[in-house]
Amino acid sequence: MSLEAGQMKTLFRNLVRAFYYDQMMYRRITTGQLVGFYHPGEGALAPGVGAATFLREDDLLNPHHRGHGVGHMLSKGIDLKYYLAEHTGKETGCCKGRASFHWSFPSQGVHFASGYIGMNHTPVVGMGWACQRRGRQQVVMNCSGDGSYGQGRAHESMLFAANWKLPIIYWCENNGMAIHSTAEEMHPMADISSLAAGYGIPATIVDGQDVFACAEAALAVIERARSGKGPSFVECKVLRFKEHDVGTPDLAGYTPRSEELHEEMRKREPVALATERVLAEKLFTQAEIDGIHEEAKAEVAAAEQFADESPIATPSEEELLAAVYAP
């Protein structure tokens, strides 16, 4: 499905916006200005932007945790200042500053976040079933990493989705790593998408560094899900340029990969690749591209100002205790 000029322009803008959000989050976690931890998204933001830019507002989305879903969520039209406020422990956050990196924007189709890898694969079945029963042609974009497909629930989920022809897109952002373990160590097949064949789910593999390729794949599977043909699987082969996360004390800063390898990977930086393409196709002039960067920086600065000027979250003792479950 080839993209129109307007669609490519929107994707380019969203990718640049995601880039500056990610840079800001990384700066803040390394300077003590973000609650919890951060999984750097640098180099890996194109799949999220491609997956979410052409979703409808009433479609359901599970963002992947890499880059804390910033590319996914802003592309779906979510105002990330409420997410940044959450992540800085402020009362104005999307969960009133109680949830650190866990997002929730139910009115825009983003219902939950979990620290439990692969947990998403279970609720998406119920979400897909609800969408099917409502009959409004909504789809469920279920994004997660290669690591999540080691969970048994991923397989149960695909089985249900295939049997019931649910409108679920299994969107795998495969960076070949899960913390320090390689996908090669954890999966017998090089392509995670080969798992989908066992359930009769059609699968596509795309270059996860190329935001346009990701979006073309997304448009095709969104259309398939909307028209009642059932689930699809898209595997984006993507790169992780940095450590797994920053902020978890026993992991912080460590990566088993060399800096030389990261440098080699950076030759396939997605904003640079997209810039080459939009210039080659004369979609934007260099001056317009510079303007897009300035707008994105200003958007991020305004989000930071909002978060920083918001009051700190102050849950009462009763509220805190009400959230404790003890069997």
316 vs 159: CA distance, rounded Å: 44
Q: CA 246: distance to chain centroid?
A: 17
Asked if residue 179 binds ligand TPP (CB under 6 A), the reply is: yes
The only residue of 11, 45, 168, 177 in contact with ligand TPP, by rule CB under 6 A: 177
CB 193 within 8 A of CB 224: no
Nearer to ligand TPP, 116 or 254 (CB): 116
- 3-state DSSP assignment of residue 175: coil
Least distance to ligand TPP from the beta carbon of 148, Å?
A: 5
CB 254 within 8 A of CB 243: yes
CB 76 within 8 A of CB 55: yes
Least distance to ligand TPP from the beta carbon of 65, Å?
A: 6
236 vs 246: CA distance, rounded Å: 24
With CB atoms as reference, the residue minimizing the distance to ligand TPP is 145
Least distance to ligand TPP from the beta carbon of 42, Å?
A: 12
The amino acid at residue 92 is: T
Nearer to ligand TPP, 138 or 144 (CB): 144
CB 233 within 8 A of CB 202: yes
The only residue of 28, 39, 76, 187 in contact with ligand TPP, by rule CB under 6 A: 39
Asked if residue 175 binds ligand TPP (CB under 6 A), the reply is: yes
Residues 237-256, interacting with ligand TPP (CB under 6 A)? 244
Nearer to ligand TPP, 43 or 147 (CB): 147
202 vs 58: CA distance, rounded Å: 24
Asked if residue 117 binds ligand TPP (CB under 6 A), the reply is: yes
Least distance to ligand TPP from the beta carbon of 307, Å?
A: 24
Nearer to ligand TPP, 211 or 307 (CB): 211
Contact stretch for ligand TPP (CB under 6 A) within 22-30, 109-117, 204-212, 270-278: 109-117
The only residue of 28, 66, 102, 237 in contact with ligand TPP, by rule CB under 6 A: 66
Two tokens, residue 151: 């969970």
- What length does the chain have? 327
The only residue of 116, 189, 266, 320 in contact with ligand TPP, by rule CB under 6 A: 116
45 vs 74: CA distance, rounded Å: 11
DSSP string, 180-218: TEEHHHH-SSS-GGGGGGGGT--EEEEETT-HHHHHHHH
Least distance to ligand TPP from the beta carbon of 322, Å?
A: 25
Residues in contact with ligand TPP, shown as a per-residue x/- string from 145 to 174 under the rule CB under 6 A = xxxx--------------------------
Contact stretch for ligand TPP (CB under 6 A) within 144-152, 202-210, 273-281, 308-316: 144-152
Asked if residue 123 binds ligand TPP (CB under 6 A), the reply is: no
Asked if residue 275 binds ligand TPP (CB under 6 A), the reply is: no
In terms of Cβ atoms closer than 10 Å to its own Cβ (0-12, 13-18, 19+), residue 136 is exposed
Asked if residue 13 binds ligand TPP (CB under 6 A), the reply is: no
Two tokens, residue 110: 């983003």
136 vs 154: CA distance, rounded Å: 25
Binding site for ligand TPP (CB under 6 A): 39, 66, 115-117, 144-148, 175, 177-179, 244
